[in-house]
Structure 1
């Protein structure tokens, strides 16, 4: 049996030293928080563990992964010393539809990490993940790959047995194995690189083994359990994206012993973990372990913090998800900069930004929007396929409405198709083409069936068959042209179910009309008292969780948005009001400043 008693020495240490480090030092002063630049340095970076990073063509299932990708991009832009640690998955899948519109998956192997410019980290000794499967012990070597992102590092852990992202059911034992690899091999990689994190950032509870592995490492370096626990809690931030306790997997004691206990070396840590397990009645939930090891826990919107606190009986700090500038159409971003709406160096909002937004020129905005739509139509026609296996063709001059996100029941993809005749009338009257895109989890038979039912409805309606296209294989390559080229963005989650959602934020920043329920980040403005629910700055979908009422409200909104698109001045007024309202919420550098403050607060604040 192999063991991990000796920490490997690297031949070359790729230093975490961001190219824009001077910007970071100025940013800390700008925030009037010099402690940030004292605590976060190239030797002590912000280290984020995440199951998915929406960058470099790596697989991402949804908002959690694209948010992590935005952290990578924003930290590089701001010069924040940052490292991301994730898994390089062996398999991926492409979405297709059978003749009955039922989703089928084409599984294929990922190219070698070097294909995406990842370089193998050479060490004198490999790290082995030790586990027991069917009473037999195994020791699997884990390879470490790194990629330079403007001086920061993205670390991918790899071995051929790591299958796909979120493969199987939520309590599939392979997911526990993946969590063990990410945590133990990830901390090993940091130690090998000579890195001590200033912030250990856990992007959802499945990454908590990283904090446990760090606790074990500190104890093995001579710290007492009490000292090690304090050290881990002082630097650990846990970001939660899950509103329902039911969504969290529970692991049996034997599973924890087989995959986690086998990799712990310190007897005190093993005893501490056993004591924790003994107090759990229904199995081990990583959320509870994360809450125990993290000194700071945050939700990703105000309503999420409220709802999660009620669901889990815990207190949550609120940092609403925002987006990086990579999602903004270049000409639009240029206008934000030229009008001094955004800080020229940091990208945060400038004082008086509302008045500056109002100086945007209508004709210039319309010209840019026309260009962005033309780009979307071109990409759809050339690269993307609809439910019939044909390229997606949108006629010039037509309006484009979009519903695009992970295909999940609480997101209500079916809502707009409640009354297909009325939908068809709206699309024809206002010359709208409706694009839908999203992937159901391969094991989610219910949502795959609902997808087929929706597409069958479309196929049976002559108007919808002509004007509604399901674009297959939704991902970041499709998301970007959609959020920049659409006229209307539709966001339909059940109220109280969406942690935040960021696709609507991206659309709003690109001057797209928004129709949404008051949920996730869109509800921030109501909870902080800036707006009343009866005077929303966007096209609010009423009816909350009554699907019938919400559908009728959505249809009225689509009619109103169609009329607004026909009236240039009304469109201008609506877009500016959305921008004034949501630019502070969706501003990525502003979000990063909140994480920097949270991560460097004195423990317990």
Structure 2
């Protein structure tokens, strides 16, 4: 390995519910990377902001109204330690100071930048108070500056020698600006500074949803350029052009476009996402044909030891290997699942289902039978993921869930952005449906979705559901977590599932042959096909297979689960993913040894 490290910048890291600096899969991915880097002895450090109130708890009343609850965290109680380092970030009208905290994960340091210092103004002390608030839709420029500029300066002051800068999402774009500034100040001309900065940078793009792109007008962004490059011969117009694009006829600065133009390597997070990204961002490389646009892909993954429930882990210890947690990328390991007796496998599954049933009872007062079929849908409740597709036909859903001979439960959970009105409408519709008397309490909405609940749902369910509009899902990793616990996947054919599905190891919800046509009629047609396919799958395949039992064990179901584990598990581990980053992307930047 070279002397330098990989600096992994991300606006979120989902380490624990006690440190709620995450909102969804972006943070889960970032945290799992830290755990896996520790296992692989990969020289990596993480950088993010410390949101002292984090992402709010979301309480939901009986009418589906969402109430935000914020609790200020205590850094020491959250397991953070002081580094003694303070850095300053220049803004057009002032300086903001950041205190640097540290948290160690499996030998890997995560550095967290905190604005709550006495030398900052009262307003600036809470500038990074919450992960999402009213100033962050669209993303707030000052937060991006704190993370990007402050993160680089913190690593310099901490003495961390960095060889590769990996930027996770466009909120990290100011990291590029600060390093370009360093090189210009060191004597490079502007073009040389941009080139040399890009040679050390990997930029990972995520959702293609337009609302996730950080966009600023010339008047909003250039004062920050002028302040950062004060005294240097760098024109703000040149910087603006690096991120320039047209949106609704107006020329704006896109942090995504800027990051793509200034990074030596750009990657998507699944093969399907690569194709969607090449189509969406192809104008950045104006002269390249679509299939030659230089956006690579490395499919996201999860860190299995963190997500596998204890009863399933004990089963793997006995029938796979006591060392399975460290060799999760070995295909031969997962093929051994075939040797596990069906009865032992099903007993382990019952134990994790019972844990989920106990949690549901504690949270809602509603009893669910762990012997029954449990379907779960849990994720960010955004429009393109179509959460209300599940309740498109309540009468038909009731006939499936409330079958006295073959009962089933549908558990729904998720978070919404505080200012996502369509997301709020989806929650209201789901909660209203859960009280519909036709469903007899078989549809249960679980509020305040967090890591603990995610771990219980991904282990205690029988089927994990996903219904994104085809072409819109970047990757999606919750189904991977469920897979490692013996949970089957049913999804539209998008994101990671388009790579993993082989016709036998789960189910495809139809309507996934292509993206919907533009306009409400096209979207509605796609939704209608997906909803019909979802109900058909439940009625004709999923429910009958689950209840086809021999001596209390659904032998064919267990066989399907074992096949899913054997064929999918080797591909869904962060061990595979990080090795691909090192061997395919990082080694293009510096001479890292292969792993």
Alignment TM-score, normalising by the size of structure 2: 0.86
Task: Identify unmatched segments of 5+ residues in structure 1.
Answer: 1-36, 385-389
Aligned pairs for 1:308-387 within 5 A: 308-313=277-282, 314-325=293-304, 326-336=306-316, 338-340=318-320, 346-353=326-333, 355-382=335-362, 384=363
- Matched with 1:48 is 8
Contact 2:376 2:461 survives alignment (8 Å): yes
- Alpha-carbon offset, residue 584 of structure 1: 2.8
Instruction: Name the structure 2 match of 1:128.
Output: 88
2:509 aligned to 514, 524, 541, which one?
A: 541
Q: Deviations over 1:541-582 (max 9, x none)?
A: 112352122112111222321222212111122112222332
Alignment gaps of 5+ in structure 2: 116-124, 283-292, 517-525, 549-553
The Cα shift of 1:396 comes to 4.3
Distance 1:369 1:343 in 2: 21
In structure 2, the CA distance between the partners of 1:375 and 1:198, relative to structure 1 (3 Å rule), is same
Q: Secondary structure at the match of 1:214?
A: helix
Q: Secondary structure at the match of 2:131?
A: coil
- 1: CA distance, partners of 2:101 / 2:64: 39
Work out whether 1:305 is the aligned partner of 2:281.
Answer: no
Match of 1:221 in 2: 186
RMSD: 2.4
- Does residue 1:575 correspond to 2:561, yes or no? yes
Report how far residue 260 of structure 1 moved: 4.2
Q: 1:77, CA displacement in angstroms?
A: 2.0
| Equivalences, count | 543
Residues 430-457 of structure 1: CA distance to partner in whole angstroms, max 9, x if unpaired?
Answer: 2112110012211111221232123223
Change (3 A) 1:582 1:230: same
| Equivalent-residue separation in structure 2 for 1:177 and 1:51 (angstroms) | 13
Match runs of 1:16-95 below 5 Å: 37=1, 39=2, 41=3, 44-56=4-16, 57-91=19-53, 92-95=55-58
What is the alpha-carbon distance in structure 2 between the residues aligned to residue 140 and residue 164 of structure 1?
Answer: 17
Cα deviation digits, residues 372-397 of structure 1 (max 9, x gap): 11122223333x3xxxxx34432343
Rounded to whole Å, the distance in 2 between the matches of 1:150 and 1:486 is 29
Moved more, 392-401 or 180-189: 392-401
What is the CA–CA distance in structure 1 between the aligned matches of 2:437 and 2:77, rounded to whole Å?
Answer: 45
> 2:448 is matched with which residue: 464, 467, 473?
473
CA distance in 2, matches of 1:357, 1:278: 52
Q: Is the 8 A contact 1:47 1:197 kept in 2?
A: yes
Change (3 A) 1:266 1:476: farther
Give per-residue Cα distances to partners, 1:376-429, cap 9 Å, x unaligned.
Answer: 2223333x3xxxxx3443234333211100011111111111111111111122
Paired residue for 2:542? 561
Shift of 1:118: 1.3
- The reply to whether residue 158 of structure 1 matches residue 137 of structure 2 is no
Which whole-Å CA distance do the structure 2 matches of 1:98 and 1:367 have between them?
36
> 1:171·1:251 contact (CA, 8 Å) conserved in 2?
no
Provide the residue aligned with 2:258 in structure 1.
Answer: 289
Q: Tell me the alpha carbon deviations over residues 135-177 of structure 1, each in whole angstroms, 9 at most, x when there is no partner.
A: xx2222111111122332111111122132132366547x210
SS in 1 for 2:496: helix
Instruction: Note the C-alpha offset of 1:345.
Output: 7.5
Which of 399, 408, 411 pairs up with 1:432?
408
How far apart, CA to CA, are the structure 2 residues paired with 1:241 and 1:342?
35
Q: What pairs with 1:203-242 in structure 2 (closer than 5 Å)?
A: 203-242=168-207
Shift of residue 266 of structure 1?
A: 6.2
Residues 483-530 of structure 1: CA distance to partner in whole angstroms, max 9, x if unpaired? 01111211111111100101111111111122111011000146xxxx
| The one of 383, 396, 400 aligned to 2:374 | 400
CA separation in 2, counterparts of 1:565 and 1:464? 20
Distance of 2:568 and 2:423 partners within structure 1: 31
Secondary structure of residue in 2 paired with 1:121: strand
User: Is structure 2 residue 470 aligned with structure 1 residue 495?
Assistant: yes
SS at match of 1:466: coil
Residue in 2 that maps onto 1:34: none
Separation of aligned partners in 2, 1:392 and 1:594: 45
Query: What does 1:442-457 align with in structure 2 at a 5 Å threshold?
Result: 442-457=418-433
Distance 1:376 1:246 in 2: 34
Structure 1 residue 223, shift from structure 2 partner: 4.1
The equivalent of 1:141 in structure 2 is: 97
2:519 alignment partner in structure 1: none
CA distance in structure 1 between the aligned counterparts of 2:366 and 2:446, rounded to whole angstroms: 8
1:355 is displaced (CA, Å) by 4.2
**Is the alpha carbon distance of 1:305 and 1:467 closer, same or farther for their aligned partners in structure 2, counting shifts above 3 Å?**
same
- The separation in 1 between residues aligned to 2:589 and 2:232, in whole angstroms, is 27
1:257 to 222, 233, 239: 222
